[in-house]
């Protein structure tokens, strides 16, 4: 079978270069072209030396029409508000699109409110949380989920779908790579090392995505607070789930095992750990009941740049092109 | 005024040596003797080189009677179960005692259940969370609080005392020094760096202390989960507080300002940070309301070895000996 | 072509489990059996959860004879002194052996002096620094190099082979994984974080290996000092090379390019970085001349567990079995 | 005795705020005014919350003349090229000045070559490496040393002064705070964590300072290479010293003990460690001979912001004002 020809728009940020890393080792896909306004004309390896020898590519300027012609699959790894400028032409040019920005994750109205801007080009898209959306297979446009929603929704979806959840406090701890590769006060080493930085404590933009995905199962109250920890990659989500009716540990495990049957990238483990998922596409989940209360703690661990970003995007591509979903992604973490 | 003569039983663990560091710079106290079963006969600075030149002390064997005779104030910085072997004789010998173990923090019955052992020598003690217990001033025996209870209780006491709290989820993130100076799987650098380790997710022994202290104000549901982050010192407590009736931000601030009036080591800040308290005795608190819900997020940051341990112990000593509570503790963090 | 059947003796330490990680993704090799005295009978994934789903293996007891029968290639990933107990029988049983311990790296006499023990079973072995030893192709027994010698020798071999080097100071900075997975004072997080630990400052056992390999080209004075930095993986070697006669930067580069022509895992780069090699088999080298002196600084960066250990071992296996040396190793770092 | 009235010009960078931290706890000095162009009019604690409660100061605009009138001692904690704009007027106004920039460390000619600019206001200054310059006592203007020269010179001065040193390779490892508080590529957490960054490998501007100070004792060849390690504070200097004639370990120790007799901030220790000096003004030195060579390795550890910056500046102030040199600085590290 011919390899999938892949284009990446915006291949200089963390999600873009993570796509390069992953597709470089994908047996059924090859990178046809990569774009970057900042680095057009430069060798990719001159900007990101770790890709040297393995990838011989040159950044190009964005020419959406040509990209659609040359590529089977296009990843848009650009900021929200920018993806919508490319997606319509990519689709009409016949390419399948996986958008890693927030532009196609929410209904237009919600999007416009949350992101404070008009949506220039709404299109029908499938929300690419693969484990919950089998319709990814037939999608032309997939909205790749946010990193926090991936960890949060996978942590609790089975319980929520059981109808027995009253409320959930999501307390998330993320590596700083989620904030991108531009130096900032928060990413300044002396500010983050030996520290932990809560931010957007009650106002994070990922909350509506979590609402949307869990709301498909049942109505639950959701509280969300993110923190940055002195770590490069990974998100640990501590989901404090308050049940309507107490459940035993083995009952809960049964619910999860059934819900995630056949989902190869979700693993039930004793204690989730960022080390166990670093660099890999796995989402590890651990479950804890409490002796004298209705609380269940569901912990999930993902690599925010892989299962929470570029790995999941490739998982979606695999399904859209009728490949096994593990193709090019079946490796362990680098602990 | 003569300096307070201080004895430290168990001065080789993290809380013991932190007492040494702090008292070495205390204008009104001096270290009379330090004990360590492991290091008896050795120079303190040969075991802990950073104390060299500043402190010229030799570890001695424990002789409780003699310690009580020689010292005005004795800190017991030994594991729970061990402090109770020394405290009665110290008290009867006339010393004032600050116990840094868990032995005198809880009523006997609760203690025996939580720590799974008989209490050999129950005594009346004051719980040394100074800001809430003015009776420390007249105490002969102070039970210095656990590190997590210090951060948790200070974060929410004003709100709980207002009677308007229904439930609280405490999600705590601690530096690894809280686990002591013995190498372990959890403290093994490759296991903790680039990671975050949830532990005793629903079963931590500090919960009864939190219950006890908050229960003095009002009945609230409490959930608690601790994590270790790749940090040496500090605890960030994220307290997700569900109110019965929504309050505005300024109302909440007023409650806190009133509650902590004159409490010099509690600071209301915009965003608590471990860097801002590292090495110091401050507890920084930040408060966040949420637009569409009854949740208030109260964040507190302490150095677990100072305000969460040895600094608070000295604060207690200061009060027990009629000194200003800031004596020897009025310095900033080392950011 | 049938896949190479691989056995790993001692598959629970860091080099052993890194072999598992790498071979799990190798297209031409498969793990036939793994042994561990400590974990015999246990599932590998129950001990190392990150290998879950990808590898379904159970630790076995060591039965050298059976291993030789079942496996084409055997990796001995046990401490020095222990490998020599297995190697003779593995060889006589027909297996090709890659020994990751120090047992076969040095001439018997040197070995016995450096490691302070009798060598029970000396055998002819090829030193597996692949780039310098093409005879690996025909070897039955390969002595996989130490991590420091790999980084040091690759950094300076071209210059030394030019005959123009008088002396070299190797100042090495290693991640702590080089010290193994047993918790120790040095690996205790509060001791290593925010610190750097020099050790065996003038007495490290890897020096004779470096002497041996560089001595094959020319006589040079060698000084070596290692440090542990608060990093999990990687070694940066700063080689301060004093030349007999000053050379220009472009001359030096020409020497390196020629020396490493066709060596795919060595890359000349502007600034070597652990991030650029983390998890990968590359050795990145950077070269710096000094305006007014005969010093050249040669920097090399490797992942101590990959090019400095298990990756290089697989590179050796590839050559011993007539595969392309990049087979199963042609991927980028996880930055 | 009246407290020394202190002014700080440029009190928003790391060295400036470290002066604030230290003087806040100084028994014989008090901060009269602090300036910052960026933050003039703002409360210091609003910019640096960790100084809250302890310091109640407001940033002012720079008015050199008024500062000289109001203050006894003025610290200029501004970039090189900027200090020279203030120093003449401060001196003529009668203040004693400690300049933390590079402006007065080198002879005019050397300065102009190294820093690539004209010197607008050369003045006679004493190089404030206190242990080597007793004339600090009578100085009106002290040039506070660079952080690297402090660690390097203290590590080897006794040996060099013995006349037995041929050459020295200084391989330095610094925390990132040395690069200041402006976010940059190098200080971006994902670039520095789990990494080590060599920079200005053969071209660092601190080399002439080291030459100058060691050259006062004897002629030696000097090589210098700095690295940034994933650490906030501290510099470990590994000085590989090649002797003309081999010396025994005890001989070397005697030389150091004699040289540093009465120098309270220099400690000879078994193994220097950043943890042992973090936040303190100590310089710890360790010495290692090598069995079969003329090499001595001298290791020194300092906190770059304290002994390598603001602490040393206060040590100089103490001497200039006839105080004990330890005043306000006699505390241990925060390990």
CA dihedral A255→B225→C191→D177, nearest 10 degrees, is 100
Instruction: Please tell me which of the candidates C175, C234, C275 has its beta carbon nearest to residue D191.
Output: C275
Q: Which residues of D touch A176 (CB under 8 A)?
A: 189-190
Instruction: CATH number of the domain at B244, please.
Output: 3.30.360.10
Distance from CA of B146 to the nearest CA of A (A): 21
Boundary-marking domain end, from B123, B157, B182:
B123
User: Residue B333's closest chain D neighbor by CA?
Assistant: D50
Interchain CB distance below 8 Å, D50 and B275: yes
Q: Which of B190, B194, B293 sits opposite A223 (nearest CB)?
A: B293
Cβ contact (<8 Å) for C334 and A276? no
- Nearest CA to C224 out of C272, C179, D255, C213 is that of C213
Alpha-carbon distance D139 to B90, whole Å? 54
Contact C275/D at CB under 8 A: yes
CA–CA dist D106, D75 (Å, integer): 18
Q: Does A292 touch chain B (CB under 8 A)?
A: no
D311, part of any domain: no
| D230 CA: distance to closest CA in chain C (Å) | 7
Determine the residue of chain D that is closest to A183 in CA distance: D188
- CB spacing of D231 vs C335 below 8 angstroms: no
- Segment D207-226 shows an average pLDDT of 98
Q: Are C307 and C150 in contact (CB under 8 A)?
A: yes
- The full DSSP string for B146-175 is PHHHHHHHHHHHHHHHTT-EEEEEEEEEE-
**Residue that is written with structure tokens 């290593």 in the block:** C192
Quick one: pLDDT at residue A289?
98
Which subunits sit against A, judged by 3+ Cβ pairs under 8 A? Answer: B, C, D
Active site residues of A: 147
Contact A279 C279 (CB under 8 A): yes
C294 lies in the same domain as C254:
yes
Indicate whether A322 belongs to any domain: no
Residues of chain D with Cβ-Cβ distance to A190 below 8 Å are 14, 176-177, 181, 187, 232
Nearest Cα to Cα of residue D271 among B189, C228, C197, C169: C197
Does D203 contact C at CB distance below 8 Å? yes
List CB contacts (< 8 A) between C21 and chain A.
Answer: 331-332, 334-335
Q: Domain check: are B299 and B151 in the same one?
A: yes
At D236, the pLDDT band (50, 70, 90 cuts) reads very high
Contacts of B181 in chain C (CB under 8 A): 188, 190
Please check whether residues C157 and C225 belong to one and the same domain. yes
Whether residue B201 and residue A299 make contact (CB cut-off 8 A), yes or no, is yes
Domains contained in chain B, number: 2
Same domain assignment for residues B91 and B185:
no
Summary mean pLDDT of chain C: 97
The full 3-state SS of chain C, as one line of letters, equals CCCEEEEEECCCCHHHHHHHHHHHCCCCEEEEEEECCCCCCCEHHHHCHHHCCCCCCECECCCHHHHHHHCCEEEECCCCCCHHHCHHHHHHCCCEEEECCCCCCCCHHHHHHHHCCCCCCCCCCEECCHHHCHHHHHCCEEECCCHHHHHHHHHHHHHHHCCCEEEEEEEEEECHHHHCCCCCCCCEHHHHCCCCEECCCCCCCCHHHHHHHHHCCCCCEEEEEEEECCCCCCEEEEEEEEECCCCCHHHHHHHHHHHCCCCCCEEECCCCCHHHHCCCCCEEEEEEECCCCCEEEEEEEECCCHHHHHHHHHHHHHHHCCCCCCCCCCCCCCC
D153 and D228 together in one domain? yes
Alpha helices in D14-86 (DSSP H): 14-24, 44-47, 64-70
Q: Are residues A117 and A158 in the same domain?
A: no
Domain extent for A212 = 147-303
Burial of B245 (0-12, 13-18, 19+ CB in 10 A): exposed
Question: Does residue B275 belong to any structural domain of this protein?
Answer: yes
Answer yes or no: is the ipTM higher than 0.90.
yes
Residues of A within 8 A of C25 (CB-CB) are 330-332
Task: Label residue D290 exposed, middle or buried (CB < 10 Å: 0-12, 13-18, 19+).
Answer: middle
- A152 and A258 co-located in one domain: yes
Give a yes or no: residue D331 inside a domain: no
Shortest distance between the Cα of D199 and any Cα of chain A, in A, equals 16
pLDDT of residue C22: 98
pLDDT tens track for B268-286: 999 999 999 999 999 999 9
Q: What is the CATH number of the domain that holds B53?
A: 3.40.50.720
Distance separating alpha carbons of residues D92 and A76, to the nearest angstrom? 63
Instruction: Examine the domain organization and report whether A34 and A73 are in the same domain.
Output: yes
C196 touches chain D (CB under 8 A): yes
Mean pLDDT of chain A: 97
Does the beta carbon of C183 lie under 8 angstroms from any beta carbon of chain B? yes
**Phi and psi, residue A178, nearest 5°:** -60, -20
Q: Does residue A80 fall inside a structural domain?
A: yes
Q: Kindly state whether residues A175 and A89 are assigned to the same domain.
A: no
The span from the CA of D48 to the CA of D51, in Å, is 6
What are the tens digits of pLDDT across the range D46-103? 999 999 999 999 999 999 999 999 999 999 999 999 999 999 999 999 999 999 999 9
Rg for chain C, CA atoms, rounded: 19
Query: Is the pLDDT at C11 greater than 90, yes or no?
Result: no
Q: Confirm whether C42 is domain-assigned.
A: yes
Known catalytic membership, residue D71: no
pLDDT at D118: 97
* Nearest chain A residue (CA) to C302: A50
Structure tokens at D14: 């790391």
pLDDT given for residue B11 in this prediction = 87
Strand partners, D60: D35
Instruction: Give the rounded percent of residues in chain C with a pLDDT score beyond 70.
Output: 100
D171 contacts in chain C (CB < 8 Å): 169, 171, 238, 240
- Dist. CA C238–CA C261, nearest whole Å: 23
Q: Which residues of chain B have pLDDT under 70?
A: none
According to the model, what pLDDT value does residue D210 have?
98
What integer pLDDT is reported at residue B254 of this predicted model?
Answer: 98
Residue C327 has pLDDT above 80, yes or no: yes
Taking one residue from A and the other from C, the number of pairs with CB-CB distance under 8 angstroms is 85
Is residue D73 included in any domain, yes or no?
yes
Chains touching chain B through at least 3 C-beta pairs below 8 angstroms are A, C, D
- The whole-number pLDDT of residue D292 equals 87
Is B233 in Cβ contact with A230 (below 8 Å)?
no
- Predicted confidence (pLDDT) per residue in A278-294, tens digit: 999 999 999 999 998 99
Per-residue pLDDT tens digits for A57-94: 999 999 999 999 999 999 999 999 999 999 999 999 99
At C101 the pLDDT is: 98
Same domain, C164 and C263: yes
Does residue A287 belong to the interface with chain B, where contact is any CB pair within 8 Å?
Answer: no
In this structure, the answer to whether residues C90 and C204 fall within a common structural domain is no
The most distant pair of C-alpha atoms in chain D lies apart, rounded to whole Å, by 63
Q: Which of residues 14 through 43 in chain D touch C, CB cutoff 8 A?
A: none
**D-contacting residues in A 204-263 (Cβ below 8 Å):** 230-232
User: Which pLDDT belongs to residue D11?
Assistant: 87
Is the predicted pLDDT of residue A273 greater than 90, yes or no?
yes
Band of residue C292 on the pLDDT scale cut at 50, 70, 90: confident
> Chain B: nearest CA to A122, how far in angstroms?
27
Out of D71, D147, D152, D283, pick the active-site residue: D147
- Output the 3-class SS for B56-76: CCECECCCHHHHHHHCCEEEE
What pLDDT digit, counting tens, does each position of A188-241 carry?
A: 999 999 999 999 999 999 999 999 999 999 999 999 999 999 999 999 999 999
**Residues C42 and C75 grouped into a single domain:** yes
Instruction: Classify residue A160: in a domain, yes or no.
Output: yes
Contact B75, B22 (CB under 8 A): no
Quick check: D198 pLDDT over 90?
yes
Q: Under an 8 A CB cutoff, do C190 and B183 touch?
A: no
Structure tokens at A127: 């929300």
Residue of C nearest to B178 (CA): C190
Residue of B nearest to A191 (CA): B275
Q: Which residues of chain D have a CB within 8 Å of the CB of B278?
A: 334
Percent of chain D having pLDDT more than 90? 99
D185–A232 C-beta distance less than 8 A: no
Contacts of C275 in chain A (CB under 8 A): 50
Residue A292 has what pLDDT? 86
> pLDDT, tens digit, for every residue of C54-75?
999 999 999 999 999 999 999 9
**Is D110 at the interface with chain C, CB within 8 A?**
no
* B187:C185 CB<8 A: no
Nearest to D190 among A177, A185, A190 (CB): A177
């Amino acid at each position: 079978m011919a390899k999938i020809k892949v284009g990446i728009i915006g291949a200089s940020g963390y999600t873009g270069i993570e796509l390069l890393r992953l597709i470089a080792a994908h047996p059924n896909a090859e990178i046809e072209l990569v774009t970057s306004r900042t680095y057009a004309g430069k060798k990719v390896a001159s900007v990101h030396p770790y890709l040297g020898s393995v990838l011989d590519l040159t950044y190009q300027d964005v020419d959406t029409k040509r990209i659609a012609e040359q590529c089977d699959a296009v990843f848009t790894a650009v900021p929200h508000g920018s993806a919508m400028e490319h997606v319509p032409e990519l689709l009409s040019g016949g390419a399948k699109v996986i958008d890693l920005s927030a532009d196609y994750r929410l209904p237009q109205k919600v999007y416009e409110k949350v992101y404070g801007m008009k949506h220039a080009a709404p299109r029908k898209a499938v929300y690419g949380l693969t484990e919950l959306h089998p319709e990814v297979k037939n999608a032309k446009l997939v909205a790749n989920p946010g990193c926090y929603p991936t960890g949060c929704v996978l942590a609790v979806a089975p319980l929520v779908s059981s109808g027995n959840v009253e409320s959930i406090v999501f307390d998330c701890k993320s590596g700083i790579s989620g904030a991108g590769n531009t130096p900032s006060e928060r990413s300044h080493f002396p500010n983050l090392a030996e520290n932990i930085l809560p931010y957007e404590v009650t106002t994070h933009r990922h909350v509506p995505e979590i609402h949307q995905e869990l709301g498909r199962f049942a109505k639950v109250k959701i509280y969300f607070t993110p923190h940055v920890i002195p770590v490069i990659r990974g998100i640990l989500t501590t989901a404090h789930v308050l049940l309507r009716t107490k459940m035993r540990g083995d009952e809960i495990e049964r619910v999860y095992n059934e819900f995630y049957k056949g989902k190869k990238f979700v693993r039930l483990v004793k204690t989730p750990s960022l080390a166990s998922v670093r660099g890999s596409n796995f989402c590890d989940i651990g479950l804890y009941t409490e002796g004298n209360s209705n609380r269940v703690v569901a912990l999930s661990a993902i690599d925010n740049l892989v299962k929470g970003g570029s790995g999941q995007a490739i998982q979606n591509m695999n399904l859209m092109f009728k490949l096994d979903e593990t193709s090019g992604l079946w490796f362990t973490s680098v602990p």
